[in-house]
Structure 1
Amino acid sequence: MAYSQTIPPLIPLSKQIYRDDCDIIAIRNGQTLHTKDLKDAVISIYHQLNTSKEHHWALVMQDSFHFVAGLLALLYCGKHPILINPLHQDLAPYFQAILTDNDAITAYDWPNHNITNITQLPTHNIDIAFIGELRSTSLTLFTSGSTGLPKPVNKTLYQLEYESHLLSTYFGSLSQHLFIASVSHDHMYGLTFKIMLALSNRATFVCESIQYQEQLAQYNGQKIIYITTPSLLKTLDCKITNVECDQVISAGGPLAYHAAQYSLQCFGKLPTEIYGSSETGIIATRTQVAADIPWQLFPQMQIINTKQQSKLMSPLIEGAEPLNDQIELIDQYTFTLKGRTDKIIKISEKRVSLTYIENQLSQLAEIAKVCVIPLEQKNRTILAAVVQLSEFGIQQKQQLGHFRLSQYFRQQLKDKLSLVTIPKKWRFVEQLPTNKQGKSTFIALKTLFDNIE
């Protein structure tokens, strides 16, 4: 993909409700939603929230069009949007109220929070100019949280919109494309590629999350940009009817070369891979036309390698941001990734690599996948392992039972780890829990051990 020299003017978030009423914003269950529908939704929510005393609102939407309407309304009201989905009680201190379209979120579970369901609000017939200008220009989202609770990350609209500018310069004009995603709009990846990039380019997005090739097939014949993850691409079935995509974008983890080839066979395109993080935004990109293709930095990005840690200089952040990956620079524009460095925790004042423990367990024939997380038990930190067993491992569990199999795994680690760093708790699952970004989050893994001694 060559960088485009000219792109049409992008539309900032503050100007979205002033687009032509007939502009198509989104498609929901095959039905088009226009700027007029967005205006009506924003006005309805604005009327409900403008006089509320709460400032920090959790924005929890299942539908991406509802998400955009809720985000805009909160910003016009001068509220601070907190992007959280799914909701979890451990994150409750970050917000005072909840804006949602989900009937399952009720006062029974959240008695101390004001809950507003936008699907139950009345409509208001007033001119959109009545709500004035944006009174807030920032939001908070969360990292996925692989070794602990998700960490809040603050973003300004300027950062989000400048990121769209960089991506539009890379991809060229996108106004005729249809943005479809398997990932959530609540996280940085989905927010950037499904929401901000589509809106700024006056393109259309599909409201629903599209997880399966069969779902994607209904949009065949359109200029599809499919925004997805390595965990989905590696499970593609090339026997299913192919769907021609104009672009396939992958982020959220390493993509194996053979999985990239699946995309080429099923979608007619090799994925454009994106390297970045919630803290930094986009950093680099590559397309695996051959195995081990290096990453290329986006314009204005610079990586500085030191003995301790690699750091990023980027127009999307302030200062130098430490990176949680081992990076080997080829030149000032390209590099290779050599693995993660951030799954390091302290137990009994000792630095422990969760990745090292996972790698040791992954070598065993009984284990297909494993995640190790820290848990607090009686004022001390212990480790817990969530194991997806291989077919051989399932047979062993049937013969030995849960306890004896976990003791076997502990025995295998005793010559490689100290006693305090061998997992004390074990859960065996058919499949590791993952979110729409294809990641196993700390919250989802921790839930497997809740209320169990």
Structure 2
Amino acid sequence: MTTQAARAAQGNAQAAAFVASVAAWRRAFTAAPGARWALYFEGTADFAAALFGAWHAGKHVVLPGDTRAETLAALRGHADGWAGELPGGLTPAPVPVSVPGEGEAGWPPLGTHDTWVTLFTSGSTGEPGAIDKRLAQLDAEVHTLQQAFGARLPADVRVLSTVSHQHIYGLLFTVLWPLAAGRPMPGARLAFHEELVRACARDTRPAVLVSSPAHLKRMPDGLDWPATRPVLQAVFSSGGPLPPEAAADALRHTGRSPIEVFGSSETGGIAWRQRAVQADRWTALPGIAWRLQDGFLAVRSPHLADDGWYVCADRALPAGDDSFVLAGRADRIVKIEEKRVSLTQIEQRLAASPLVREARVVMVELDVGTRVAAAVVPGDAGQAILDTHGRAALTAALRAHLADAVDPVALPRRWAFVPTLPCNAQGKTTEAMLRDLFRRTVPAAHWLEADATSASSATSATAALDVTDDLAIFDGHFPDTPIVPGVAQVDWVMALAPQRLPIPPRERFARLDTLKFQAVIQPGTTVRMALTWQPDALSLGFRLTSDTGPHASGKIVFHPHPHPDTP
């Protein structure tokens, strides 16, 4: 697998530009010290050129899954340098398409056993783990995909994608397999269903869709889906089992039953199915051997680093015809106050409630120690309780549902009710994303008056604040009688006022005047926040009140110009 594969895939002009870009990256990486280089690009073609340039320069490429602050902090221990769209990343010097000495003889085949890439697990059930893979493993997987599905696809088929090439699924399906098979790589990643429909309506050449459950289980009815039917030759999905109703929706909208590919970053692809044909049964991909070991799925595969058996964290049952069905992942066991707690059991119990559509739980640090937090997508019945009676009623109903099956110490201490679970570009809900839901410090604001004036001329605004018990500000203030700290109340004003009033940025804060705290604010309170902006005095007056009376008031004064210490 070399850059020569791109020539057939991209057409003569595009191939020449691609190879020139690879050559520029090869020179840049050759001149750069260090063996391991982290690489990130949003654009697939830019990413592929940098990837092959680094490989041809003898570099070990490290692929972060995203550019979140936590990801970048962890990345520093894995790479000697950063490239592409990472902060301060290496970029090549621009070069003309035709470069002497960069012809066929200048691109010897890459050594499949000494060319490396490091990928990271999704972190959906823990911290992301680094996995080193040889090009030989990726090359074997590309051959497997072509053997399994290549005959279904026209030679000139193009790729449309909703997933990121920074993970193994996207790397294989949107970069390596297209290049090896002589197909164009995708352009920009499609973030919305409307973009997919427009892409099919605008260009009617045959295409395949590379997607994930997170995308396919949210296909709205109101789009022009018939435009996709003559275009899409196949729909691929990976990242987790596709729910039956989502598979049915995809078939109804696009005319294609999604081809689900089951595997992991560690194992590569293992098996596949189409629900319209195989229902819940998975069939092993060509060249993959599987067996059950103590109830767990074990595989032997050319996609692995060696020829041994790899035991997955997935339970499975035989289903005849050399197929299997999945029976859930191994319990995620944690200890809370020396008691063993199954997070999987809590999730399964929540999912069994008619009030819940989806649920995930995660461990979070609170003032009383590490405790369970639950992120819940309410079902119709749960949403009705939420809309009619509020968070407290839905929380109480779910705690009661858990009470018979879950130890009291393991009942969730934090709850987040969300319309959808957060997910990354691969369609995975990671623990880091779940924890972010429970770091919320500012309550939801419902602005009470319809503002007919523009934001630039507004001088007053009023909002109702829902002070719910899941706000992180209650941690430590206090376990038995939680209250809102005074500093948090001022922060609410500073955070919410810019939504309606033209106040200066925080950096121009000068002082607080006439600050008074009259009564504590406890969870479950609806607080009325009244704001008055005086542009001539550069002051923001505020009052926080509720049905019980006043809570706080004061005036925030700003510097007339950027603070002297501000660069």
TM bin (shorter chain)? 0.7 to 0.9
Deviations 1:82-135 (Å, cap 9, x if unpaired)?
Answer: 11131224523222422224xxx53xxxxxxx52256xx432644325576647
User: Using the alignment, how far apart are the partners of 1:19 and 1:300 within structure 2?
Assistant: 26
Q: Secondary structure at the match of 2:144?
A: helix
1:283-432 matched pairs, under 5 angstroms: 283-290=270-277, 292-307=279-294, 309-317=296-304, 318=306, 319-331=308-320, 333-341=322-330, 343-348=332-337, 350-377=339-366, 380-394=369-383, 396-397=385-386, 402=391, 405-406=394-395, 409-432=398-421
Code of the aligned partner of 1:309: F
Deviation of 1:372 after TM superposition, in Å, equals 0.4
User: Using the alignment, how far apart are the partners of 2:269 and 2:414 within structure 1?
Assistant: 37
Identity %: 28
Quick one: structure 1 residues 448 and 171, their matched pair in 2 at CA, closer, same or farther if it must change by over 3 Å? same
1:87-166 matched pairs, under 5 angstroms: 87=67, 88-92=71-75, 93-101=77-85, 105-106=86-87, 115-117=89-91, 121-123=93-95, 125-128=99-102, 134=110, 137-166=115-144
Quick one: structure 1 residues 381 and 96, their matched pair in 2 at CA, closer, same or farther if it must change by over 3 Å? farther
Q: Which piece of structure 1 moves more, 156-165 or 92-101? A: 92-101
Deviation of 1:193 after TM superposition, in Å, equals 1.4
Q: Is the contact made by 2:6 and 2:180 (CA closer than 8 Å) also made in structure 1? A: no
Deviation of 1:297 after TM superposition, in Å, equals 1.1
Alignment counterpart, residue 63 of structure 1, candidates 31, 40, 43: 43
Alignment counterpart, residue 79 of structure 1, candidates 43, 47, 59: 59
Q: Secondary structure at the match of 2:137?
A: helix
Q: Is the contact made by 1:100 and 1:115 (CA closer than 8 Å) also made in structure 2? A: yes
User: Using the alignment, how far apart are the partners of 1:38 and 1:277 within structure 2?
Assistant: 30
Alignment counterpart, residue 255 of structure 2, candidates 268, 272, 294: 268
Quick one: structure 1 residues 256 and 272, their matched pair in 2 at CA, closer, same or farther if it must change by over 3 Å? same
| Matched residue count | 421
Code of the aligned partner of 1:448: L
1:238-249 matched pairs, under 5 angstroms: 240-242=224-226, 243=228, 244=230, 245-249=232-236
Q: Is the contact made by 1:148 and 1:374 (CA closer than 8 Å) also made in structure 2? A: no
User: Using the alignment, how far apart are the partners of 1:300 and 1:134 within structure 2?
Assistant: 24
Quick one: structure 1 residues 237 and 417, their matched pair in 2 at CA, closer, same or farther if it must change by over 3 Å? closer
User: Using the alignment, how far apart are the partners of 2:374 and 2:80 within structure 1?
Assistant: 34
Task: Tell whether 2:142 aligns with 1:168.
Answer: no
Q: Is the contact made by 2:148 and 2:286 (CA closer than 8 Å) also made in structure 1? A: no
Quick one: structure 1 residues 448 and 235, their matched pair in 2 at CA, closer, same or farther if it must change by over 3 Å? closer
Match of residue 198 from structure 2: 215
Q: Which piece of structure 1 moves more, 290-299 or 80-89? A: 290-299
Task: Tell whether 2:160 aligns with 1:180.
Answer: yes
**Higher RCO (CA 8 Å, separation ≥ 6 residues):** 1
Deviations 1:399-452 (Å, cap 9, x if unpaired)?
Answer: 665566545543442332123322222223232111232221112112223483
Deviation of 1:52 after TM superposition, in Å, equals 2.0
Gaps of 5+ in 1: 1-11, 27-31, 107-113
Deviations 1:217-246 (Å, cap 9, x if unpaired)?
Answer: 246532211111233223334552421311
Match of residue 10 from structure 2: 25
Quick one: structure 1 residues 214 and 445, their matched pair in 2 at CA, closer, same or farther if it must change by over 3 Å? same
Quick one: structure 1 residues 289 and 43, their matched pair in 2 at CA, closer, same or farther if it must change by over 3 Å? same
Quick one: structure 1 residues 342 and 117, their matched pair in 2 at CA, closer, same or farther if it must change by over 3 Å? farther
Deviations 1:351-398 (Å, cap 9, x if unpaired)?
Answer: 433222112223444433221012345795322212223455445445
With normalisation by structure 2, the TM-score equals 0.67
User: Using the alignment, how far apart are the partners of 1:138 and 1:349 within structure 2?
Assistant: 42
Task: Tell whether 2:263 aligns with 1:279.
Answer: no
Q: Which piece of structure 1 moves more, 84-93 or 375-384? A: 375-384
Code of the aligned partner of 1:353: S
Q: Secondary structure at the match of 1:358?
A: helix
Code of the aligned partner of 1:81: V
User: Using the alignment, how far apart are the partners of 1:390 and 1:55 within structure 2?
Assistant: 50
User: Using the alignment, how far apart are the partners of 1:301 and 1:151 within structure 2?
Assistant: 24
Code of the aligned partner of 1:314: S
User: Using the alignment, how far apart are the partners of 1:410 and 1:192 within structure 2?
Assistant: 43
Quick one: structure 1 residues 234 and 400, their matched pair in 2 at CA, closer, same or farther if it must change by over 3 Å? closer
Whichever of the two has the greater Rg, that structure is: 2
Quick one: structure 1 residues 258 and 309, their matched pair in 2 at CA, closer, same or farther if it must change by over 3 Å? closer
Q: Is the contact made by 1:302 and 1:332 (CA closer than 8 Å) also made in structure 2? A: no
Q: Secondary structure at the match of 2:160?
A: strand
User: Using the alignment, how far apart are the partners of 2:283 and 2:21 within structure 1?
Assistant: 41
With normalisation by structure 1, the TM-score equals 0.83
User: Using the alignment, how far apart are the partners of 1:60 and 1:71 within structure 2?
Assistant: 9
